[in-house]
Chain A
Amino acid sequence: MLEARALMVFYENMLALNNVSIACGEDQIVGVFGANSAGKSTLMYTLSGIIEDIKKKEEMAGGERITVMGTLLYRGRDIMGLSPSRRAKAGIILCPERRRIFTESSVIENLRIGGYLASGSQARETLEYVFKIFPALARLKKRVGGFLSGGEQQMLAIGRSLMAQPRLLLLDEPLMGLSPLIQATLVRATREIRDERGISIIVTEQYARPVLPIVNHAFILENGSAVLEGTREDLMNNPDVRSAYFGV
């Protein structure tokens, strides 16, 4: 589905991603775990193409120079350097860190904005599906986005990404700052999305434990390098990983 080889990203002279190679197969959930400043968000920006946008803005404003290198193959096609909107049309949708919902639009408006690229029937069908996996949102249709709780906002953000008809969904820290109960709901929903819609998912987290049961494959980032990769069982059995990312 998606294969990234030897990704390198420099923010000016700082190396944010160092030779990172990751892959995500069809119908897979891939986890990317790492501490703060490990490069998780940069990786997500690079995969979704947002980095190209940031790069252009920095260039215009005379800010720091961002260099992106490596190969990025999506369904056999090289997408390196493609603009984020083109990648979104091709089916790579990012659900950004800190949710970034439209705080002044209502829930239903947020979802309809997300479905701008979809056809009418797709949008209607997906809207129903979003309300099916997140029943909480169905009750809050008219509520303004900024007045939702953190968990509801995260559901809305994931719902909005789904409306854009992803084939590969990038979830950047979806569980950040949420209660264990909501975390469990979201993790269950994530698995359902994969199983029922056939969407591949790459999910990043700092704390691996809640997400690990649903991932097929995982990568561990440290200081911008992918130091470890393996299946769920591989990581579970690694004592270093257990202490650092599972809190065991």
Chain B
Amino acid sequence: MMAQTRRKERLDRGIRVRTDGLYALMSWRELSYLTLPRVVLIFGVLALPFVMPSMYWQRVISIVCIYSFLAISFDLLAHFVGLVSLGGAFFVGVGSYLAAILNTSLGLPVALTIPISTVLGATICTALLLPCLPLRGVYFAIVTLMYPLALARVIEALNILGGTDGIMGVASFPSRWVEQYFMIGALLLFLFAIRRLVNLDLGLVLRAVKDNDQAVRASGMNVTFYKAIAVFIASAMGCLAGASLVHIYMWAGISQFALDFSILPIAATVIGGAGTLTGPLLGCFILVPISELLRAFGTLRIVFYSLILVGFIVFRSEGIMVYAQRKYHQFERWVKV
């Protein structure tokens, strides 16, 4: 009578059930089950500069880290606060110009320009974005998209901050190794900090804002305030990326307001798995090197790039990280109904 008498069942692995909470400390096996993915990620990323064959590819690592910062900041805003941000370029631009000014005009060393421009830049970005935070909907995306375009034109038209030539003669990192390990270290720090943050009380409120901001307001919380905190954190990451970029290129220019910084992190988030925070990082580690490899194809590069993106969206729209997490935590078997 029934055409189908079996179905595929998904079950949590026993070890996952056991490793919930403090019980993970019960045995090495359970402890390693829990820490293995993190350890692989951390040491994998830390080993990258040694594995890379040439200086060119070591430079690519730094660029990957910059995009990863932006991707994590996009993921935080879009999937934990519900603000779709197209402002990667805005954050990078503000951070990089600040760092360049601090370094060339005030003569501050790299060790100071990066933290100062991170905090100061985040403050400026948050203040500029504050007017559109009480609104729901598409406004935040539009405003974040418009700022970098506007700022680039302002710099060009008024010929301030170096005009179209940009600010040259910015100090570089002391060495390639410092540069790479600073980028990787900061990236891992921010990744795990943000992963922690979204599970704190603050993170719960942010996720509630995404779910239903009216209910949050009814619970007596100021939605705009919490959104501003999230925007501050996200733009701090963007400004950090921008400030580092300036010291890597030793030059700040209008191209740091380029839309690449807004669009590529979004693509990386889609590929890596939205709402996982680690996924966007993985997405950048895949997408940016691919785009470098595709340089061999010249102008056809963008065609292949788009095909890869479309393929991912059609066949793995959940994202790599979501898929991998499921395979790691659950197993499947056929059962009779």
Interface residues of A (CB under 8 A from B): 5-6, 8, 10, 12-13, 60-63, 65, 67, 69-71
Contact = CB atoms under 8 A, between A and B. Distances in A.
Interface in B1-26: 1-5, 7-11
Nearest to A18: B337
Given A62-B322, A62-B323, A67 B2 contact: no
B318 A62 contact: yes
Contacts of A8: 337
A244 B122 CA distance: 60
Contacts of A60: 317-318
A-B complex: 7 closest residue pairs judged by Cβ atoms: A62-B318, A67-B7, A62-B322, A60-B317, A69-B4, A61-B318, A13-B9
Contacts of A70: 2
Interface in B206-240: none
Contacts of B4: 69
A8 B318 CA distance: 27
B17 to A, nearest CB: 14
B326 interface: yes
Contacts of B2: 6, 69-71
A6 B10 contact: no
Contact of B10 (A5, A13, A69): A13
Contact of A5 (B1, B319, B322, B326): B1
Contact of A62 (B1, B9, B11, B326): B326
Contacts of B326: 62
Nearest to B323: A62
A210 B2 CA distance: 36
Contact of B7 (A6, A61, A69, A71): A69
Contact of B11 (A5, A13, A63): A13
Contacts of B7: 10, 67, 69
Nearest to A65: B10
A60 B314 CA distance: 8
A186 B337 CA distance: 40
Interface in B271-329: 317-319, 322-323, 326
A65 B8 contact: yes
Contacts of B318: 60-63
Contacts of B9: 13
B248 to A, nearest CB: 36
Contacts of A13: 9-11
Contact of B337 (A61, A62, A65, A69): A69
Contacts of B8: 65, 67
Contacts of B317: 60-62
Nearest to A63: B318
B1 A6 contact: yes
Q: In this complex, which of A12, A13, A61, A62 has the most chain B Cβ atoms within 10 angstroms of its Cβ?
A: A62
A63 B323 CA distance: 10
A78 to B, nearest CB: 10
Contacts of A62: 317-319, 322-323, 326
